[in-house]
Structure 1
Amino acid sequence: MKMELSELTTEKRNPDSMNLDEMSPMEILQTINNEDKKVALAVETVLPQIETAVEQISAALRNGGRLFYVGAGTSGRLGVIDASECPPTFMTPSDLVQTVMAGGNDAFFNAVEGTEDQEVQGEIDLKARNVTDHDVVVGITASGRTPYPVGALKYANQLGAYTIALACNKNSLISNFADCAIEAIVGPEILTGSTRMKAATAHKMILNMISTTTMVKLGKVHENLMVDVHASNYKLKERAKRTVIEATNVSYEEAENVLEQTNYRVKPAIVMIEAAVSYKKAEEAIVCTKGFVREAINYIDR
């Protein structure tokens, strides 16, 4: 196992930071910045695989499935961050996008040592979520060999769920257990083995891409506006008003008036204004067009 780890790209020493301890603060910052510039390019090379993942996830969610991120340490925390943003940003049910993290929720704040080394625990924790063949499971691991997400993917495969692997090493172990393998090769870290840096940045970018693109394809975005935002406080209610104004060019007062009729739901407000219909008619059109605002407006107009 020690030899295996030493051969991973994510565990190798970066030749450009060999004298990191002798650099000035600015030199360290410039070195980190130069390495970070490589991350987006690495992600670019795996866009086709990310597209495949999005297509599968979108289809699963449209058919009643759920999306599960599985990871340990930083990888698990990245999953928590992405999943937790889906309900307020896209008004998704809290269980639609979930994170299964080694050590449980407490591990988000405090490391729980040893849990990531247990394949069987990945299976146990996934089993507790009642995963089915309608769901999609994403295993996240920079090294590509962390037992916890590997065990989760093995179990998901047994169920017939669609599986996706995110790693930062070529020919990763976890890729062998995934229907779709995404390997973003960002190279050695500035601080040797500290995959919370470039590897984590790559994975956060990919998770952002996956969740955002999926939600666009599910009709939760109109133009480039968050039309399924959950307006639960003053800030978000004001954002809802601005969104309606941007989409329809009405006044602030009219946007506020219509939103009060829809209980601050942006989608029906836009359809009401653009198609000049009642709240009931707007809701019916949105349901008939599976949540797409543009299609709902066209549906009424035809």
Structure 2
Amino acid sequence: MTHLAKTLLTYLAEGLAPIRPVRIADVGANPIEAPVYEALAEAGLAEVWGFEPNDTARDALEKAKLDCLRVLGHAVGKPGPAVFNAYKASEMSSLYKMSEKSIGYLGHFRRHLGTEVEHQLDLVGLDQLDDLPPVDLLKVDAQGAEVQVLQSGRRKLSKAVAVIAEMRFYRLYDGEPDLHELDAELRAQGFVLHKFIRPKARMLHNSQNDRLNRRRIGSQLIDGDAVYIRSFEDRSAWSDEQVAHLALLAAGVFGSHDLALLCLDELAARANVQTLAAGYVSHLPQEYLA
């Protein structure tokens, strides 16, 4: 947890109390890096249901899991039988096979080709899971199956305020949906694109590879997390709790301080009370101030 996130979440938790924890479904919760919601979890402001069908990744998740996390082995998607391709690098495992043509162009990920082991399994839709309550945030990194996951959870997501989905900018798997299909499904469910976090680009292999700094010269976008929020243009139908949860997510998960402040202004206008916004700004570092 960054010091800024900790400070802001402490301030908001006190000002918005009492408020229940933010409910998060994390589909593809492979613990190869700290989850984006770590600050919320460490502040005691999150309840997380983590889905990971890969045995290796799930075992690692169990060993390092946050106290607020319930680990589930379901493979989420369009309900029914499917083939899961388990790659030696667990983070590449997918319902789809890696594309030789794409990898031939990119010059990356070659070591993964042909390493998959096929497993027959049954996919489960989020809406089928009785032990999963309606969620406030969906975090999904399903290596191409993000659209399936979203379609399987329209009821569970009906009151959600945000989705963080891995969006593929350049295809890695044969048959995976294009980014416009993911965007269309999210918009159909009432979400709009808010921002990108951690987009990844790679250098295309060429004859001068050994002379180049790959981190500095890489230009081909591969993927990244896309943050979608429920459209806030007409927020009269939003509950106070939804607005407060979006404020917490904006402050502690995707660092959108202007959005957090807009949520605080909305809550103040509804209750006809002094806004928490001024105090929020007082906690921001100097580089964020005029």
TM-score band w.r.t. shorter chain: 0.3 to 0.5
Which has the larger share of strand?
A: 2
Larger-gyration structure (1/2)? 1
Which has the larger share of helix?
A: 1
